[in-house]
Amino acid sequence: MFKPIEIIATYDSRTFSSMGYVEVGNRWVKKDSIRERADTTKPTKISAESAALLLQDYDELKTHIIDVERGLETLHDAIGKEKKEKRVNHRTS
């Protein structure tokens, strides 16, 4: 019925959204496109085993993130102390 029109221009995501497009994967498609909706991934059922593995991975990831946060805080504190010492040394010299 209608031929798809290829847009050859550069727009930001807000402009595309205001024109009635949504991003599906790495492509922009018209919101009303039934075919594209059918092509999107659908949720799948997961077993109790896979859910347990996902929760375990989540806990491990959360632990790593906490460790990274602590390391960044330590680094931030060390840099702050170093800057403070340089200011004190600069004043006394």
What is the pTM (predicted TM-score) of this model?
0.41
Residue 71 is encoded by which pair of tokens?
A: 């390391």
pLDDT of amino acid 92 = 64
**Average confidence (pLDDT) over 20-47:** 70
pLDDT digit string (tens) for 50-92?
A: 888 889 999 999 999 999 999 999 999 988 888 777 776 766 6
DSSP conformation letters of the chain: --------S---HHHHHHTTEEEETTEEEETT-HHHHHHS-------HHHHHHHHHHHHHHHHHHHHHHHHHHHHHHHHHHHHHHHHHHHHH-
What pLDDT is stored for residue 37 in this prediction?
57
Q: Which two tokens stand for residue 69?
A: 């946060």
